Amino acid sequence: MTVIAFIGSVFSPYYAWARQRGTADPLNHCAVNVSLYGPRGGRWAMTERGGGALSRDAQHLHIGPSALRWDGECLSVGIDEVTVPLPSRLRGSLRLYPEALTGRKLALDRAGRHHWWPVAPRARVELDFHQPALRWQGGGYFDSNAGAVALEQSFHGWHWSRAHLKEGAALLYNARERGGTTTSLALQVARDGTVEPFPSPPEAALPRTLWRIGRQTQADPSATPRVLRTLQDSPFYARSLVASRVRGEDVTAVHESLDLNRFRHPLVQLMLPFRMPRRS
């Protein structure tokens, strides 16, 4: 399962069109994206909402009927969303207990306009859903991204992965800027939250998706990474489970590939409202 809370929804066609008109207010383009994956297929919800549906302070974030709350020890998420394209309810709660907290924010571009914060590279997650009926607990991850300009203005795209290690987690980020610069970050995070950079492993190619999105990852030189399952396949974004080897350990990594040249294409922008409806 993946849950993303957006203020200024970076993949919103409505936000992109508003920026083109010069009237874009990020607070007017908010959404809670929920992706649920299972052996019988997945469910997806991402309803964009206007500023009147947004309420927030230092501990709370409410977007429409869904809400996030941080009490200093646990991130609680109450979810009440409607799936698309076939409407059904996603209703339940998620609790995330960090096993390691970091205070380190990292720039993803040379100009310092985009930052990434791996808040809790390791966490314990408890899931309790009523619709569909589902209870689960296991390992998880929590991070945050922030930017001063649109992603597609700064980047061609990126690939990212995160994997549990025996004594922490490994995080790999490779972002390609439009000016030709590549930011490559490789971090090992211990259970106490200590962040240790290490030399970026070499890139390894992965098979393209059905939408022909190119996928690469980084792995130990002796490894041959392979895709175990493609969880999300869209015209510009793919999320996958990848078997790999990092820091001398065999791992199963959550991996994403983002193609922002695809995202900015007018035809893709016209397709997106079918997956991202808006309630103003």
CA-to-CA distance for 6 and 144, rounded, in angstroms? 10
CA-to-CA distance for 116 and 174, rounded, in angstroms? 12
Average pLDDT over residues 62-72: 97
Look at phi and psi of residue 157 and say left if phi exceeds 0, alpha if psi is from -120 to 50, else beta: left
Q: Is the pLDDT of residue 40 over 90?
A: no
Q: Is the pLDDT of residue 60 over 80?
A: yes
Q: Is the pLDDT of residue 280 over 80?
A: no
Contact 250, 224 (CB under 8 A): no
DSSP-derived secondary structure for 148-172: SS-HHHHEEEEEEEEEEETTEEEEE
pLDDT at 39: 83
CA-based torsion, 114, 119, 122, 125: positive or negative = negative
* 3-state SS, residue 113: coil
Q: How much of the chain exceeds pLDDT 90, in percent?
A: 94
Contact 92, 65 (CB under 8 A): no
pLDDT tens track for 169-210: 999 999 999 999 999 999 999 988 999 999 999 999 999 999
pLDDT at 23: 82
Average pLDDT over residues 148-167: 96
Q: Is the pLDDT of residue 137 over 90?
A: yes
CA-to-CA distance for 110 and 114, rounded, in angstroms? 9
pLDDT at 104: 87
* Average pLDDT of the chain to the nearest whole number: 96
Residue 164 — very low, low, confident or very high, per pLDDT cuts 50/70/90? very high
Whole-model pTM: value is 0.95
pLDDT tens track for 99-130: 989 988 999 999 999 999 999 999 999 999 99
Kindly give, in sequence order, each residue whose CB lies less than 8 Å from that of residue 65, ignoring residues fewer than 6 positions away. Answer: 80, 81
Q: Which is higher by pLDDT, 32 or 22?
A: 32
Contact 248, 163 (CB under 8 A): no
CA-to-CA distance for 75 and 200, rounded, in angstroms? 31
pLDDT at 90: 97
Average pLDDT over residues 127-134: 95
Average pLDDT over residues 6-29: 95
Kindly give, in sequence order, each residue whose CB lies less than 8 Å from that of residue 41, ignoring residues fewer than 6 positions away. Answer: none
pLDDT at 204: 96
Find the angle CA(250)-CA(102)-CA(231) to the nearest 5 degrees: 45
Q: Which residues of 201-221 are buried (b: 16+ CB within 10 A; e: fewer)?
A: beebebeebeeebebebbbbe
Kindly give, in sequence order, each residue whose CB lies less than 8 Å from that of residue 154, ignoring residues fewer than 6 positions away. Answer: 109, 111, 113, 114, 147, 177, 178
CA-to-CA distance for 237 and 225, rounded, in angstroms? 19
